[in-house]
Amino acid sequence: MSRTEIKIGGFGGQGVILTALIIGKAASLFEGRESTMTQSFGPEARGGACSAQIVVSDMKVRYPYVTVPNVLVVMSQEAYTRFEPQLDENGILLIEEDLVKSGPTRGKIRAFSIPATRFAEELGRKIVLNIVMLGFFTSVTKLVDADAVRKAIRDTVPKGTEELNLKAFEKGYEYGLNKLKEEKKKLG
Amino acid sequence: MKADPKGVLTGSHYLDGDHACCEGALAAGCRFVAGYPITPSTEVVERFSARIPRVGGIFIQMEDELSSSIAILGASWAGVKSMTVTSGPGFSLMMEHIGLAVMLETPCVYVDVQRGGPSTGLPTLPSQADMMQARWGSHGDYEVIAISPSSPQECFDMTIDAFNLSEQYRTPVFLMMDECVGHMTEKVVIPPADKIEVTPRRYTKLPPGKYLPYKPDRDLVPPIVKAGDGYRFHVTGLTHNEKGYPVMSADCQETLVHRLVDKIRVNAKKIIRYEEEKINGADVIVVSYGITARVAQQAIELARKDGVKVGSLRLVVVWPFPEKRIRELAGKTKAFVVPEMNYGQIVFEVERCAAGRAATFLVPHGGGTTHNPEDIYKKIMEAAG
Amino acid sequence: MKKEHPGAPLLRMDRIPHIWCPTCGIGTTLNCLISALSASKLDLDKVSVVSGIGCTGRGAGYIKLDSFHVTHGRAIPFATGLKLANPKLKVIVFSGDGDIIAIGGNHFIHAARRNIDIVVICVNNFNYAMTGGQVGPTTPLTANATTMPFGNYEKPFNLPYLAESSGAVYVTRWTALHIRRLTGAISETLNKKGFSFIEVISPCSTIYARRNKLGDGLSLMKFYHDNSEIKHGANTRDVNIEFQKKIVVGKFVDIEKPTFLEARDEHYRRVLGEKYQPYGGIG
């Protein structure tokens, strides 16, 4: 697929924008592809609903906005309610399972959930929940190369927090691989 | 002249348009920024204030946009490339000093990251409704140069272009960004300093006593001096002669203002820049700029799938306007479609140049978000008949 | 034998005669500035004069130095940019009360607060003279103005008090009669670092004096002579001017404080250490 649209939703302070930034950076700077990251701005983005969008493409991104996301990552109930109806019916839905109560899936949507906040707390810093989610995203969607994402994490997170963030990434990444195995088994 | 490597952050970066604009300014040799916080432009000065103490230069957050827009003129007359950055309401406050910059022929750059208006409008959301204000906002007659980037990479590249043009023509240059481009993040490649061409200030070669501040060169641009070099020159916002002295007469007004206008008009061919795509044989030509050019692309592709011959002309330099080119194309195409995030600004320029030889369709949008490509597509289909 | 004006070397003689009325105090003040500059050891090539709009605003046009005649009220922010971009320059703002205190009032207080290293000479003639005598922020209570045809009921600013409380390091007031003392004050500010403020009470015989029936230029000078009281170190709270009452003059404030650039330099050296690139301007 040459153009993929990704949407990430949550609430302010969860690191929604940073997650999107790392995905975009991984694709653009460490994989040699093109990407455009846009975000919702304004007072409503502080503490309230917050979302970011990334278009990843093998060619130059002309139209920069996400209209029908192929991947939706939700870290709040509100984001789920608002954005789930936009998701492509062949898309992938990634859910923070302790924060979002999801309903039945539409069409051929593949849904995967993870207790990212709990994992982050186990790692000692609840703040890295977004990076756990990012690891989960990376292994489940395979949209962006894992090493490129690791490089983008090192390049983006505050100095001194690289190891913690990479641990968080691996935690989510492993969990995602297991979820894929489970899915495979189920489909037999 | 090559860029000073001290300001150049060579490498590939993932930046939004605001940050890219700041890096463009540093690469162009800008060492003085005065600004006042205003959404959605603030990130430019935030980055500059963090970068400049480690590059060598000055950032000052002034008490308002009035003072920011003239502090940069003071700095420019000290010989330092300077810039201010703002959005709608601040841009309105700066208008008087844009006139002063034109009148004193001061090289400097004004960046307007356009948001929805009028008044406080939509602070965090886009528009392209300041395009005519950039052209005509200050009182009196003058011509300006305005550039409209449509990606963070272009925000970097075109900030450098803006500085270069301002030095070349001794005139304020506008970088007309919009909130979308300002807050959109993409890869920005910053070349090594020796690959960045920077226009040096056109200092006079004449000694004090022989030098006249407003005696133009052949291209109508007078060479400049800076404060502190012994020229003991005078400049004034009043109508002035070649010596820079005020003369309150119709003759002097004619000589001065006509030259100020001609300085841009005569050199327009060298300044104007646009990008064309599939223009030959096109039945409909979409004329667009800034973020809207990228949105329009989606509509153009839809229409082409329907078999319509659609061409695209993207204005890179919006002012001066490519009158001649639009006139030529008007004789060859059926219609122009002009989508812009306002209720009609640049479309009137297109209409004026088309002069009835091609139909002109506006796709208006009040701002707050970009066009729905579908609306542009429909207009293209209507124009194609 | 034709004798040259003693100020000629620093005047644009090709622009004389000037526009100021006979017995106006602006020319006198400009002369004091020229005398102070001539006597100083400054490299005059490195001195810039910036004026705004108004009668006093024409000052920059007559002085033969790098001189800038800018927009109404914005001489101070222009001077701020000039000075910060080239700290080697000595920058003098020469403008009127309406220009600096009304339309430019916000810039005045902020430049003083930041302690921008400039000299501000404010010629106060109690009204907008260029436009024909409108009320200004310094017009004394009860004084008549074209836009206060029944007398002024707005309380004026006390400029030295405003300057001091905003952060100026040097504050003085003289009248256009005090030529020697005014010249001396300007000389002091030429060697002073930081935001220096000089208020010069100036007769406006054509507009303000005529409208208020205060007599001709000579009688105004006589008024200053009889009613000025020199009080160095006076509390600036106490030096407000009332209509045709005593005028307290003198040097009120002369302190030391780091300038904007000194404070910036010191701060960045401390917090950024080796990474800090000090800036000294170009050329």
**CATH number, residue A93:** 3.40.920.10
Residues of B in contact with A35 (CB under 8 A): 186-187
How would you class B233 by CB atoms within 10 Å of its CB: exposed for 0-12, middle for 13-18, buried for 19 or more? buried
Chains interfacing with C (3 or more CB pairs < 8 Å)? B
The reply to whether B54 touches chain C by the CB within 8 Å rule is yes
Taking CA–CA distances from A41, the nearest residue in chain B reads B124
DSSP chain A: --EEEEEEEEETTS-HHHHHHHHHHHHHHHSS-EEEEEE--SGGGSSSEEEEEEEEESS---S-S-SS-SEEEE-SHHHHHHHGGGS-TT-EEEEETTT----PPPTT-EEEEE-HHHHHHHTT-GGGHHHHHHHHHHHHH--S-HHHHHHHHHHHSPTT-HHHHHHHHHHHHHHHHHHHHHHHHHH-
Of the candidates B67, B80, B226, the beta carbon closest to that of C77 is on: B67
Contact C69 B234 (CB under 8 A): yes
Q: Which two tokens stand for residue C46?
A: 């490195």
What distance in Å separates residue B186's CA from the closest CA in chain A? 5
Contact C82 B31 (CB under 8 A): no
Interface test with B, best of C68, C114, C267 (most B CBs within 10 A): C68
CA angle, residues B267, B270, B275, in degrees to nearest 5:
135
Do B190 and B323 reside in the same domain of the chain? Answer: no
Interface test with B, best of A3, A19, A29, A58 (most B CBs within 10 A): A29
Of the candidates C80, C88, C279, the beta carbon closest to that of B57 is on: C279
Q: Which two tokens stand for residue A70?
A: 């192929």
pLDDT digits 0-9 by tens, C196-213: 999 999 999 999 999 999
* The domain boundary residue, chosen from B139, B162, B195: B195
Range of the domain at B310: 274-384
Contact B232 C14 (CB under 8 A): no
Counting the structural domains of chain B, the total is: 2
* The domain boundary residue, chosen from B156, B173, B195: B195
Contact B184 A29 (CB under 8 A): no
Intervals of chain B under pLDDT 50: none
pLDDT digits 0-9 by tens, B157-166: 999 999 999 9
Taking CA–CA distances from A156, the nearest residue in chain B reads B14
Quote the pLDDT of residue A188. 75
What distance in Å separates residue B18's CA from the closest CA in chain C? 23
pLDDT digits 0-9 by tens, B247-299: 999 999 999 999 999 999 999 999 999 999 999 999 999 999 999 999 999 99
Taking CA–CA distances from B77, the nearest residue in chain C reads C82
What distance in Å separates residue B235's CA from the closest CA in chain C? 5
Residue B65 within a domain: yes
- Which CATH architecture fits C11-272? 3-Layer(aba) Sandwich (3.40)
Residue B247 within a domain: no
**ipTM value greater than 0.90:** yes
Range of the domain at A25: 3-187
Q: Which two tokens stand for residue B151?
A: 């990606």
Of the candidates B123, B186, B297, the beta carbon closest to that of A36 is on: B186
Contact C70 B73 (CB under 8 A): yes
Residue B81 within a domain: yes
The reply to whether B190 touches chain A by the CB within 8 Å rule is no
Quote the pLDDT of residue A12. 84
Average pLDDT of the segment spanning C238-256:
98
Confidence of residue A187 (pLDDT cuts 50, 70, 90): confident
Residue B264 within a domain: no
CA dihedral B120, B124, B126, B130 (to 10 degrees): 30
B113: closest CA among B348, B290, B315, B272? B290
Length of chain B: 385
Counting the structural domains of chain A, the total is: 1
What distance in Å separates residue A181's CA from the closest CA in chain B? 34
Measure the CA–CA gap between C91 and C117, rounded to whole angstroms: 8
* The domain boundary residue, chosen from B171, B195, B219: B195
Quote the pLDDT of residue A157. 96
Whether residue A1 has pLDDT greater than 70: no
Residue boundaries of the structural domains of chain C: 11-272
Quote the pLDDT of residue A41. 60
Residue B285's CATH number: 3.40.50.920
